[in-house]
Amino acid sequence: MSPVNQAQPKYPPADEVDFVIVGSGAAGGVIAKELSAAGFRVVVLEQGPYLKEPDFAHDEMKSLYQEALTNNHKQQPNTFRARPSQKARVQPAVTYGRVVGGGTVHFTGNYWRFHEIDFVERSRLGAIAGTGFADWPITYQELEPYYTKVEWEVGVSGQAGANPFDPPRSRGYPVPPLPIKSSGVLLERAARKLGWHAAPAPMAILSRPHNGRNACIHCGFCEYYGCEVGAKSSTLASVIRVAEATGRCEIRPLSYVRKIKIDKRGRAVGVIYFDDKKQEILQRARAVVICANGAETPRLLLMSKSNLFPQGLANSSGLVGRYLMFNGGAFAGSLFEQPLNEFKSVVVSRIVHDFYDTDPKRGFYGGGGIDFRFDLQPVAFAFAGLPQDAPQWGKDFKAMLKQYYTRTVYMLAHTTSLPVASNSITLDDQVKDAWGLPALRVTYRDHPDDIKTAKFFLARGLELLGAAGAKKTWNFPVGEQTFGVHLLGTCRLGDDPKQSVINRDHRAHDVPNLFICDGSSFVTSGRGQPTCTIQALAFRAADRITRLAKAGEI
């Protein structure tokens, strides 16, 4: 572990800081930077360790088995059930980043903006029975300046105007798209043949130096890995550094928050966390901002129940933890004649958005995007990268490894999930984590339209692979999901306190000095790439919080 930044202050927990932020990921990192730059004293509590570039390595075994960058399912068991009537069983159900920088450290870096339609889809399409399908309280136009801030301050490579389906923008990207890969050339070729459109993928990985950071060196250890040169735009590599340089922001790793402490008036006085020795500490603050992700944020609120808030904190609506959305998807493999060498460089270079919008003619709700990618290092490929009917050992197995590794590319589709009230994060009443806290219980069953959408996208993806000239394709059947990494919707934004958990300022309807911003804030799921929008919300939320604080309204 590297020494902490010299500029970092050390705040004694008993001293009341202006803000304590729970979580240092996509949203927490941005809000920490914005609030400390605005002059506030900020403590960020992160349950994971503070790793830096020298700690990251090209080591597949470590990445696959150690869970070094993500939540550890042994210490923090999940339970899962498809329906509320079933008994939940212990099994991994969510993965999220558990290091300073959160999931942005190991993510792929797909940075699509949401489109205008994502915020007003309910008005356009009408209600969908059995769901909480709703408009957002904010529009794309209100969020647009903050998308631009994400692209410039966090660092996104892309080409404005290249994608005919993109929403309007006020400014281009700071750096051009990353170089095209063979997978991108093939996707472009296929899309053209089918009359569709492939465009350079906007990626949170720098193609050129920007804001004093390095450009990508195309090493190929991207998804699941921390970037060794800081070219991937994690909050660790970007905004957290700026926050620390203000001298007002303390990043406190290995701090696992178990409760928001509330006074008799119903205001937050701080948060109680376990330090690395499992000792309980109260960090006092004038206001609390929770950015712990769409699974841990509702869990923390539910664990913070008290006499004043018997259903859990900020839960008068009963919606904390509900409307969980994972995003859907479809997946197929393909073999080409010549080597693509997809193990080099970033994971995705081209995307197809022709089926982004819901088309009522299809008879079901849903839309998404498609890319071609390859994300398997050698060991994982040998275990899981070949067609399912491939030989498992012997000379034919070996021959397939030799033929397929450099010639394989996968089609991945990223699709919508509808907000269903019974899909939820709750506290397990039997299983506890290594700190004695109730385990995170996931209840999830894809809405039938989500399954239809995934099947529709699998068919389009196979058409693309065929049009690209694949010698062979294979796919996995679309099934109901039991595992999520996009953790969305569980503390939704809204103007009506009965229908939402936080207001348009990201302030909890029930607690005036409690703010929430992360994937849990989403009202609808978008099309499978949520991080850019989480960060646009975070820049906007920080703006609103700053104004309220300076006006003395918190």
Partner 1 sequence: MREISRRGFLAQSCKGVSAVWLAAHWTDIRAAAQHAHHTAQTTAPAKFEFFTPEQAREIEAAAAQIIPSDDSVGAREAHVIYFIDRVLATIEADKQPLYKQGLALLGSRARRAGGARFSELDAAQQIAVLKKIEKTPFFQLLRGHTIAGFLANPEYGGNYNQAGWRLIGFEDQGTFAPPFGFYDRDYKPEQ
CA 340 to chain centre: 29
Asked if 226 touches partner 1 (CB under 8 A), the answer is no
CB of 486 to partner 1, least distance (A): 8
CB of 377 to partner 1, least distance (A): 8
345 touches 375 (CB < 8 A): no
Q: Which CB atom, from 88 or from 502, has the smaller least distance to partner 1?
A: 88
Residues 504-533 close enough to bind partner 1 by CB under 8 A: 528
Asked if 466 touches partner 1 (CB under 8 A), the answer is no
Q: How far is CA 240 from CA 23, 50, 107, 372, in A?
A: 12, 11, 17, 31
Asked if 452 touches partner 1 (CB under 8 A), the answer is no
Q: Which CB atom, from 102 or from 137, has the smaller least distance to partner 1?
A: 102
Of 498, 421, 538, 457, nearest to 27 (Cα)? 538
Full DSSP string of 410-429: EEEEEE-----TTSEEEEEE
Residues 422-451 close enough to bind partner 1 by CB under 8 A: none
Q: How far apart are CA 431 and CA 441, in angstroms?
A: 9
Asked if 486 touches partner 1 (CB under 8 A), the answer is yes
Binding mask 287-326 for partner 1 (x = CB under 8 A): ---------------------------------------x
Q: Which CB atom, from 13 or from 230, has the smaller least distance to partner 1?
A: 230
Asked if 345 touches partner 1 (CB under 8 A), the answer is yes
Asked if 180 touches partner 1 (CB under 8 A), the answer is yes
Q: How far apart are CA 101 and CA 505, in angstroms?
A: 24
Which of 395, 471, 551, 552 is in the footprint of partner 1 by CB under 8 A? 395
Of 406, 401, 380, nearest to 390 (Cα)? 401
Q: Which CB atom, from 85 or from 392, has the smaller least distance to partner 1?
A: 392
516 touches 290 (CB < 8 A): yes
H or E, element range at 453: helix 448-467
Residues 189-208 close enough to bind partner 1 by CB under 8 A: 192
What number of other Cβ atoms are within 10 A of residue 467's Cβ? 17
Tokens, residue 272? 């109680």
Strands (DSSP E) contained in 37-160 are 42-45, 78-81, 89-90
Q: Where are the alpha helices (DSSP H) in 366-432?
A: 378-384, 395-404
Alpha carbon dihedral 358, 144, 246, 267, in 10-degree steps, equals -70
Which of 47, 95, 524, 531 is in the footprint of partner 1 by CB under 8 A? 95
Instruction: Convert 131-147 into a string of H (helix), E (strand) and C (coil).
Output: CCCCCCCCCHHHHHHHH
Burial track 127-152 (b if 16+ CB lie within 10 A, e otherwise)? ebeebbbbbbbeebeebbebbbbbbb
Asked if 331 touches partner 1 (CB under 8 A), the answer is yes
CB of 374 to partner 1, least distance (A): 10
Q: Which CB atom, from 270 or from 367, has the smaller least distance to partner 1?
A: 367
Residues 364-393 close enough to bind partner 1 by CB under 8 A: 375-384, 392-393
Asked if 551 touches partner 1 (CB under 8 A), the answer is no
Asked if 327 touches partner 1 (CB under 8 A), the answer is yes
Q: Which CB atom, from 376 or from 464, has the smaller least distance to partner 1?
A: 376
Which of 45, 186, 222, 332 is in the footprint of partner 1 by CB under 8 A? 186
Asked if 48 touches partner 1 (CB under 8 A), the answer is no
Which of 16, 53, 55, 60 is in the footprint of partner 1 by CB under 8 A? 60
Asked if 340 touches partner 1 (CB under 8 A), the answer is yes
CB of 507 to partner 1, least distance (A): 31
Q: Which residues contact 536 (CB under 8 A, 6 or more apart)?
A: 113, 143, 146, 147, 149, 150
What are the residues facing 330 on neighbouring strands? 413
Asked if 234 touches partner 1 (CB under 8 A), the answer is no
Asked if 476 touches partner 1 (CB under 8 A), the answer is yes
Asked if 341 touches partner 1 (CB under 8 A), the answer is yes
CB of 251 to partner 1, least distance (A): 24
Asked if 171 touches partner 1 (CB under 8 A), the answer is no
Q: Which residue stretch of 258-266, 306-314, 471-479, 494-502 sits at the interface with partner 1 (rule: CB under 8 A)? A: 471-479
Which of 9, 167, 179, 497 is in the footprint of partner 1 by CB under 8 A? 179
322 touches 424 (CB < 8 A): yes
Asked if 181 touches partner 1 (CB under 8 A), the answer is yes
For residue 312, is it left (φ>0), alpha (ψ between -120 and 50) or beta?
A: left
